Structure 1
Amino acid sequence: MSKVVLITGGSSGIGKSIGEYLADRDYKVYGTSRNPDKYLDSKFPILALDVKDSLTINSTVAKVIENEGRLDVLINNAGAGITGPIEEIPEEEIKNNFETNFFGPINVIKAVLPQMRKQGDGLIINVTSIAGYMGLPYRGVYSASKGALELITEAFRMELKDFNIKMTNIAPGDFATNIAAGRYHAPLLDDSPYKTPYSNTLDLMNTHVDSGSDPNLMAKEVYKIINNPNPKIHYKVGEFMQKFSIVLKRILPDKVYEKLLMNHYKI
């Protein structure tokens, strides 16, 4: 029997690549988008879901279960980028980012757990970020929201163990997607004390995305995780140095690592 997979943010970028890869291998895939009518040519159904709206979450999860009778895999992929000096990012934008990257995935998890518990099995994959392992300059809010999702996954895993529901994180580095276009960018203000370093960092971040890895690398890793009866807690996918930066943070003195980051971002 084909496994039923629900992917939030499945209409473009990494989510679309994962969905197409799994659909080509006979998984029953459902993706989600806030505007599903834009993706009528998708290889798999795209349903309406806004991770900041519990009504759409519960309605869509119920629809998948009604159609298929079960839900085997949730891939929490929907997310939003945000950049800027923390001092200059409006509080509402910080809250909005956490609503999308942290509270949203939690609410989707809560919606699928009763069905997975009823089935006696299930797998939840949270798409986080390598940026969630470190506080990056001018990406601090994004780092914090993704880091929070990483940590809460660790706690969730232990709480769900008795129900045979597995959960894991997969942290991508920079991938060639349209994420940069959907980011909230704090404006570059002429009178800002951060103008020059923020501008330089922003250019570097956009270059990294434009030259990023093929999203199919994420799709292949997700496929392996789904077929692993005992998935690890954390997975990282990306360029060697991006993954190695996490190792360096563990072994280097804090100030040495901080200096490396500052040199990298030329600040």
Structure 2
Amino acid sequence: MEQKVVLITGGSSGIGRSIGGYLKTKGFIVYGTTRNLANNSNFKDFNLLELDVRDPESVKRAVAELLAKEGKIDVLVNNAGIGITGPIEETPHEEILKAFDTNFNGPLHLSKAVLPTMRSQGSGLIINITSIAGYMGLPYRGIYSASKGALELVTEALRMETKAFGIHFTNLAPGDFATNIAAGRYHSPVFETSPYKEPYGNTLKMMDEHVESGKDPLLVARMVFKIINTKNPKVHYKVGEFMQKFSLFLKKIVPDKVYEKLLMNHYKL
């Protein structure tokens, strides 16, 4: 059987690195991406391409390089993303735009770049890594929730638009996993004079604890492998702690105000 070629954005660390390493052990030809190849000169897990998901020209160059080497692309995993926290009122708008540029525009740039090739092949799979946070407006993480929620919805549309070409789109929403996302995210400072000082400070601490105690990202890698081997992938997949996934079930069955109260109690607001 011919080896499948997989491209994973944000592949040099965290969830992306776990996905790439696991798929390589399963016989896939794996390419990850990083914004700076020079900073990853000792990276040996799998192939790396230099790519900035925020820059359409960078995306085109990297995809062209991959196609020149392999002649095809079977699977795209849009994994690159950044975290952002803070009271929305106090979050600089340029940081909001940066978050959407990476978490929403980035996957669109990549999808647009690979779709012509997948269409000519008559096959292809695009997995967008979103977040369980994208299913609800979380306090002090509202911009992150919105960027991932927007990606969930646009994936639903792309899925219908490209189905006739033999291309499959799907969402995979992880919960909290033990990665370095907390170190790399933007978070608004906890200002001494801010009316949000106490609740935001407490929530920020809770979010960091959740990531530190998160599950092994290998679970996400195994789910990606399962999706790749599914003939007709579902629209949405979730992977994470039972309570995180259960919270989505609750959102469907309880009144909005009750769910809001549950969230506020959880965050002690």
Q: Do the structures match in fold with TM over 0.5?
A: yes
Counterpart CA distance in 2 for 1:264 and 1:235 is 24
Structure 1 residues 234-249: aligned runs within 5 Å: 234-249=236-251
Q: After TM superposition, give the deviation of residue 37 of structure 1 in Å.
A: 2.2
Q: After TM superposition, give the deviation of residue 42 of structure 1 in Å.
A: 2.5
Q: Deviations over 1:35-60 (max 9, x none)?
A: 12222323111110001111110000
Amino acid at match of 1:170: L
- Please list every run of 5 or more consecutive structure 2 residues that lacks an aligned counterpart in the other structure: none
Amino acid at match of 1:12: S
Amino acid at match of 2:250: L
**Residue 17 of structure 1: aligned partner:** 18
**Residue 40 of structure 2: aligned partner:** 39
Amino acid at match of 2:236: H
**Residue 193 of structure 2: aligned partner:** 191
Q: Which moved more, 1:5-14 or 1:31-40?
A: 31-40
> Where do 4+ consecutive residues of structure 1 move more than 3 Å?
none
The alignment of Structure 1 onto Structure 2 pairs a total of residues equal to 267
**Is it true that 1:72 corresponds to 2:81 in the alignment?**
no
Q: Deviations over 1:36-86 (max 9, x none)?
A: 222232311111000111111000001111100100000000000000000
Counterpart CA distance in 2 for 1:103 and 1:43 is 27
Counterpart CA distance in 2 for 1:233 and 1:176 is 25
What is the root-mean-square deviation of aligned Cα atoms in Å? 0.6
Q: Deviations over 1:204-262 (max 9, x none)?
A: 00000000010000000000000101100000000000001001001000010001001
Amino acid at match of 1:234: H
Counterpart CA distance in 1 for 2:24 and 2:39 is 19
Q: Deviations over 1:158-177 (max 9, x none)?
A: 00011000000000000000
Q: After TM superposition, give the deviation of residue 26 of structure 1 in Å.
A: 1.2
Amino acid at match of 1:241: M
Q: For the Cα contact (< 8 Å) 1:11–1:42, is it kept in 2?
A: no
Identity level (%): 67
